[in-house]
């Protein structure tokens, strides 16, 4: 892997780097199937052992959902043993908010050191390698949105409303955003820009593009850092997709581009205009069109991987700035896939949110794109109009279908998509589905205050 030169670094070199950082504690961490960072801290005296052989975690940890309840049908029972979390030297960083500590994101390995089939990060690497075999590399950039809350008498409430996108909102959050930016820089994550978003106290942090595994690592790093820095500022940073019915949701837009070995865009059309045909309205050449066509062909399953919780579908509503339709469009923010920018070199997938595991979500996106390239799928014409405000007849005239409307539909769409499941492998794909379905089953039993207000009549 061209961009992961340090992966083969010897233990001594990594130890020297950790000593250079003044690390007395090494947090060895991974993202669980829900996308949560999990880890253990190793003291200095055990660094060499941890770096060489990894540290063990119960496989059972991966059978739990976000309520910390175990999926009843999990394959990771009490008898399922351990995996080894082996630090990736390419994902080592100091922890500015935990002085004296560094962290390493880990590969999940078997006892013999081979990749474990339950490791989502390894599933993503397999996709990257499949592209490399075709002479293609990828750049990925995540754009997470979040709310900043402060303590209120009835629980957390968004910090004061300054008006959407205002400099006043930027000023109010400047100390927090600058502290997060500083922490990320120290941790090797490049930030493109930070912005106040639409909702009161809502922010967006745009991470600079990177190769896919680093891009997913960087998102995990950003979320860990933002939460830690918020706590130090007496705030709560939450990436929940839709914290309130009536204010903007928090998305996780993903920008993806393809590059050839010569460094040129593999997405763009033939710019010197060979042939007499008019350029495709996407502006993409055959590879870019196949990639886009693949993402559209697998749109409903990808929506499930990127937006897998009951709260996700409170966000993905027509006319909400979050997409509800499986279509692509040029510049248009109402579509699932947007082709931004005049240069037409990338796609932005807009359905995902921060309840996803970014390795699993990206594995699905890359597998869908590759399927489209291999089958020469065509994306058709871009959608026209503000899709959230078109009538069913107008949508039908453009051949546009809806994304899943509920988490149940979304998880069924993942279960029905053989390409996505094959890319994840039976262990990650199958067990992820069980975990997310078990969480949904709990959510479906909850009686909301609205239900009591509406149906509890004497
Ligand atoms: N907050 C919107 C969402 O939930 C996105 C707004 C934007 O276009 O940045 O996806
Ligand atoms: Mg935004």
What distance in Å separates the CA atoms of residue 312 and residue 164, rounded to the nearest whole number?
A: 22
What percent of the chain has pLDDT above 70? 97
Helix axes of 418-443 and 358-375: crossing angle, nearest 10 degrees: 150
In angstroms, what is the span from residue 240 Cα to ligand 1's centroid? 13
**At residue 4, does pLDDT exceed 80?**
no
Of all protein residues, the one whose alpha carbon is nearest to atom 6 of ligand 1 is 321
For residue 250, tell me if it sits in a domain. yes
Would you give the DSSP letter of residue 1?
-
Q: For 319-377, write each residue's pLDDT tens digit.
A: 889 999 999 999 899 999 999 978 889 999 999 999 999 999 999 999 999 999 999 99
- The domain total for the chain is 2
Reading the block at residue 423, the tokens are 């890319």
Hey, which of 144, 146, 197 would you mutate to test ligand 1's pocket, going by the most ligand atoms within 8 Å of its Cβ? 197
For residue 122, tell me if it sits in a domain. no
In angstroms, what is the span from residue 248 Cα to ligand 1's centroid? 7
180 and 53 in one domain?
Answer: no
Atom of ligand 1 nearest to the CA of 315: 4
Q: For 113-162, write each residue's pLDDT tens digit.
A: 999 999 999 999 999 999 999 999 999 999 999 999 998 888 889 998 89
Hey, which of 142, 321, 337 would you mutate to test ligand 1's pocket, going by the most ligand atoms within 8 Å of its Cβ? 321
Cβ-proximal residues to 263 (8 Å cutoff; 6+ apart), any chain: none
For residue 123, tell me if it sits in a domain. no
Cβ-proximal residues to 326 (8 Å cutoff; 6+ apart), any chain: 296, 299, 300, 303, 336, 400, 401, 402, 403
User: What is the H or E stretch that residue 302 is in?
Assistant: helix 299-306
What distance in Å separates the CA atoms of residue 59 and residue 77, rounded to the nearest whole number?
A: 8
Q: What is the CATH number of the domain that holds 37?
A: 3.10.20.70
For residue 19, tell me if it sits in a domain. no
State the pLDDT at residue 343: 82
For residue 3, tell me if it sits in a domain. no
State the pLDDT at residue 8: 53
381 and 444 in one domain?
Answer: yes
Residue identified by tokens 């967006």 is 204
State the pLDDT at residue 270: 63
For residue 106, tell me if it sits in a domain. yes
Of all protein residues, the one whose alpha carbon is nearest to atom 7 of ligand 1 is 321
For residue 2, tell me if it sits in a domain. no
State the pLDDT at residue 274: 52
271 and 206 in one domain?
Answer: yes
Residue identified by tokens 């010569």 is 262
Cβ–Cβ under 8 Å, residues 57 and 83: yes
Q: Which ligand is nearest to the CA of 323?
A: 1
In angstroms, what is the span from residue 287 Cα to ligand 2's centroid? 28
In angstroms, what is the span from residue 204 Cα to ligand 2's centroid? 6
278 and 203 in one domain?
Answer: yes
- Kindly report whether the global pTM for this prediction surpasses the value 0.85: yes
196 and 241 in one domain?
Answer: yes
For residue 99, tell me if it sits in a domain. yes
Hey, which of 142, 145, 303 would you mutate to test ligand 1's pocket, going by the most ligand atoms within 8 Å of its Cβ? 145
Q: For 80-96, write each residue's pLDDT tens digit.
A: 999 999 999 999 999 99
State the pLDDT at residue 5: 42
Residue at which a domain ends, from 58, 83, 111: 111
What distance in Å separates the CA atoms of residue 253 and residue 351, rounded to the nearest whole number?
A: 7
In angstroms, what is the span from residue 1 Cα to ligand 2's centroid? 32
Q: Which ligand is nearest to the CA of 321?
A: 1
Would you give the DSSP letter of residue 199?
S
Hey, which of 201, 322, 323, 348 would you mutate to test ligand 1's pocket, going by the most ligand atoms within 8 Å of its Cβ? 322
State the pLDDT at residue 73: 98
313 and 229 in one domain?
Answer: yes
421 and 319 in one domain?
Answer: yes
* Domain span including residue 38: 25-111
Ligand 1, CB within 6 Å, residue ranges:
145, 248-251, 315, 321-322, 333, 350
pLDDT band at 3 (very low <50, low <70, confident <90, very high): very low
Q: What is the CATH number of the domain that holds 275?
A: 3.30.590.10
336 and 307 in one domain?
Answer: yes
Would you give the DSSP letter of residue 265?
B
141 and 87 in one domain?
Answer: no
């Amino acid at each position: 892997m061209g961009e992961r030169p340090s992966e083969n670094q010897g233990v001594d070199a990594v130890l020297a780097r950790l000593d250079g950082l003044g690390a007395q504690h090494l947090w060895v961490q991974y993202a669980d199937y829900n996308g949560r960072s999990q880890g253990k801290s190793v003291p200095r005296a055990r660094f060499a052992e941890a770096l060489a052989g990894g540290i063990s975690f119960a496989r059972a940890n991966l059978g739990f959902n976000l309520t910390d309840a175990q999926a009843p049908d999990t394959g990771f029972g009490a008898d399922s043993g351990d995996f080894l979390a082996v630090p990736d030297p390419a994902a080592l960083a100091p922890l500015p908010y935990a002085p004296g500590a560094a962290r390493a994101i880990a590969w999940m390995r078997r006892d013999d050191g081979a990749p474990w089939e339950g490791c989502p990060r390894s599933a993503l690497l397999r996709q990257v390698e499949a592209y490399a075999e075709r002479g293609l590399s990828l750049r990925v950039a995540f754009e997470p949105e979040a709310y900043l809350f402060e303590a209120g008498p009835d629980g957390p409430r968004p910090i004061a409303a300054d008006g959407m996108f205002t400099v006043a909102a930027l000023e109010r959050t400047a100390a927090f955003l600058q502290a997060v930016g500083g922490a990320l820089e120290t941790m090797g994550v490049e930030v493109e820009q930070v912005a106040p978003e639409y909702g009161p106290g809502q922010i967006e942090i745009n991470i600079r593009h990177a190769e896919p595994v680093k891009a997913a690592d960087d998102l995990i790093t950003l979320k860990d850092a933002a939460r830690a820095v918020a706590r130090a500022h007496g705030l709560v940073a939450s990436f929940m997709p839709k914290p309130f019915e009536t204010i903007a949701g928090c998305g996780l837009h993903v920008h993806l581009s393809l590059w050839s070995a010569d460094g040129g865009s593999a997405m763009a059309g033939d710019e010197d205009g060979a042939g007499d045909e008019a350029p495709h309205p996407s502006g993409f050449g055959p590879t870019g069109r196949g990639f886009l066509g693949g993402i559209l062909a697998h749109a409903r399953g990808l929506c499930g991987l990127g937006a897998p919780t009951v709260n996700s579908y409170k966000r993905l509503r027509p006319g909400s700035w979050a997409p509800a339709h499986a279509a692509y469009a040029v510049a248009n923010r109402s579509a699932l896939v947007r082709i931004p920018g005049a240069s037409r070199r990338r796609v932005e997938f807009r359905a995902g949110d921060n309840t996803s595991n970014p390795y699993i979500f990206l594995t699905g996106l890359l597998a869908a794109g590759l399927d489209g390239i291999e089958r020469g799928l065509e994306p058709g014409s871009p959608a026209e109009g503000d899709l959230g405000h078109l009538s069913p007849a107008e949508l039908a005239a453009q051949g546009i279908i809806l994304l899943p409307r509920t988490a149940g539909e979304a998880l069924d769409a993942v279960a029905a998509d053989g390409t996505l499941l094959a890319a994840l492998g039976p262990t990650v794909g199958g067990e992820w589905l069980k975990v997310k379905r078990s969480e949904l089953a709990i959510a479906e039993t909850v009686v909301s205050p609205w239900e009591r207000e509406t149906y509890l009549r004497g």
